[in-house]
């Protein structure tokens, strides 16, 4: 496991990871998303910014769950039709 230093919103965090490059890539994505939110809402309150980001990511996650369920339902329908052929 490798030690890695990550900076987000000017704060430094230290982690250990088996995949340091993936963690760096993820941190860079988070940083860019937080910067976009900061530009949009123009806030210096980092806690508010992090809550906005958490809400945004949760909304996307829940949408993905709904999409997955819909696709799974359609897949089952197709399998049922194929079984009847």
pLDDT, residue 29, reads: 95
7-66 pLDDT, tens per residue? 998 899 999 999 999 999 999 999 999 999 998 888 778 899 999 999 999 999 999 999
Q: What are the phi and psi torsion angles at 78 (to 5°)?
A: -65, -45
Other Cβ atoms less than 10 A from the Cβ of 34: the count is 17
Q: Please choose, from the candidates 26, 51, 25, the residue with its C-alpha nearest in 3D space to the C-alpha of residue 38.
A: 51
Other Cβ atoms less than 10 A from the Cβ of 33: the count is 15
Where exactly are the structural domains of the chain? 2-84
């Amino acid at each position: 496991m490798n030690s890695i230093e990550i900076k987000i919103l000017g704060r430094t965090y230290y982690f250990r990871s088996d995949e340091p490059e993936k963690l760096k890539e993820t941190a860079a994505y988070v940083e860019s998303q937080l910067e976009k939110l900061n530009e949009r809402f123009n806030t210096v309150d980092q806690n508010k910014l992090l809550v906005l980001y958490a809400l945004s990511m949760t909304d996307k996650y829940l949408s993905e769950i709904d999409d997955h369920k819909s696709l799974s339902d359609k897949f089952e329908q197709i399998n049922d039709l194929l079984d009847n052929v």
